[in-house]
A and B are shown apart, each in its own frame.
Chain A
């Protein structure tokens, strides 16, 4: 059974700092890995999707990497802003999606 772990569970940083969120998974037989953002009381917003054949994807200040052989993905956020405060979830898709519990990020002004 696929297991997805996100460390740390919570992270607090000052505005402007670069940061990395981690996602690990146990079964490397995946189609893709997707990073989401969830604001309190809201649904999930897709940030980036990395196909299994890809190593990374970039969107603005976000860069996601995938190392399928080691079962790891990272989400890099450059020059963090208070508006980046949210919970970030990763999900691995092997036909059905398995989600991590998320990392709650707080960016302090």
Chain B
């Protein structure tokens, strides 16, 4: 049982380049989330998808776009990468509903030069 799988694990980009971070879960969860983790700032929600076909902005959505491709997959796209987007990105999922635990992937470590 793989849980939440993120690809790639590491990536280095130049300023202005674009890329898509991939996330897939095999737990039949309804809700999926993208967070970024920065030293001293904790995890911050970028975007989330409460169910297939819906997406909503989180706390820090600027510079990002998302696609909920199907129930399993939720991708995060940086259209024009900036050094301020250097971070560790985590995808998470849960069944949905108020009292279900979130399950996290191992993260993508992204550096933008």
Chains A and B belong together in one complex = yes
In this assembly, does A12 line the interface, its C-beta being within 8 Å of a C-beta of chain B?
no
Using A32-B99, A93-B98 as known contacts, say yes or no to A43 and B106 having CB atoms under 8 A apart: yes
Within 8 A of A (CB), among B60-103: 90, 92, 98-103
B66 to chain A, nearest CB (A): 15
How distant is the Cα of A99 from the Cα of B99 in the complex, in angstroms? 16
A51 to chain B, nearest CB (A): 5
How distant is the Cα of A49 from the Cα of B105 in the complex, in angstroms? 18
In this assembly, does A18 line the interface, its C-beta being within 8 Å of a C-beta of chain B?
no
B95 to chain A, nearest CB (A): 12
In the complex, the chain A residue whose C-beta lies closest to that of B50 is A95
What's the tally of chain A residues with a CB closer than 8 Å to chain B? 22
In this assembly, does B45 line the interface, its C-beta being within 8 Å of a C-beta of chain A?
yes
In this assembly, does B43 line the interface, its C-beta being within 8 Å of a C-beta of chain A?
yes
- Do the beta carbons of A49 and B106 come within 8 Å of each other? no
How distant is the Cα of A43 from the Cα of B6 in the complex, in angstroms? 10
Within 8 A of A (CB), among B9-68: 33, 40-45, 48, 58-59
Query: Can you report 14 A-B residue pairs in the complex whose CB atoms are below 8 A from each other?
Result: A31-B98, A36-B104, A41-B106, A43-B90, A43-B107, A45-B104, A46-B102, A46-B103, A89-B42, A91-B102, A97-B33, A99-B44, A100-B42, A101-B40
Q: Interface on B for A, CB 8 Å cutoff?
A: 4, 33, 40-45, 48, 58-59, 90, 92, 98-107
